[in-house]
Amino acid sequence: MPRPSHRLDLVFVPHDRPIGHGHRLLQRLIDGGVVDERGAAGPEATRWVPGGFARIWVDDPGRPTLYANRLGGFRVSCPRQAANLVPAFWQAVTAWRAGAPRRLSSCPACGESHDLAELDIRPPAAFGRWALVVADAAEAALTTEARATVDEALGPLSRVLRR
């Protein structure tokens, strides 16, 4: 099992925006001095994350993926019954990665079919085609200005903290 890490990544997973929105946002950050051309923290980094960060990039895995805490140990519950679904969730994720629909076809707790993204996952995780990653952040949140910029540029999204 991996050891706890002091490193904290902030992962922003858009629900429906094409990846071009992420690249345009990254260019705005370069132009504003938040990051340099390689995505490393620039002179204005603390305008983005209090205390700064190491790097920002657009993660493009080339296929839909599950963005989650890398240390494991998270819970997955039925949205109707709050029952533990971890074993069924991982079976459904494995099937989804092999090409099946992103669904838990028969929930062991309530018997209903659920999109995997509808399940109560703690700490939060998100399914997406790409993400904006703020790596090795000093704080677990963006500044108010940065959050408004991300929300405007990427639209509805999920936020994942990753160790």
For the chain, state the CA radius of gyration.
17
Cβ pair 38, 135 in contact under 8 A: no
User: Which residues on adjacent β-strands are paired with residue 103?
Assistant: 115
Q: Which of 76, 83, 156, 155 is nearest to 116 (CA)?
A: 76
Average pLDDT of the chain is 93
| pLDDT tens profile 58-88 | 999 999 999 998 776 779 999 999 899 999 9
Residue 128 CA to residue 67 CA, distance in Å, equals 7
pLDDT for residue 1 is more than 90 = no
Cβ pair 130, 15 in contact under 8 A: no
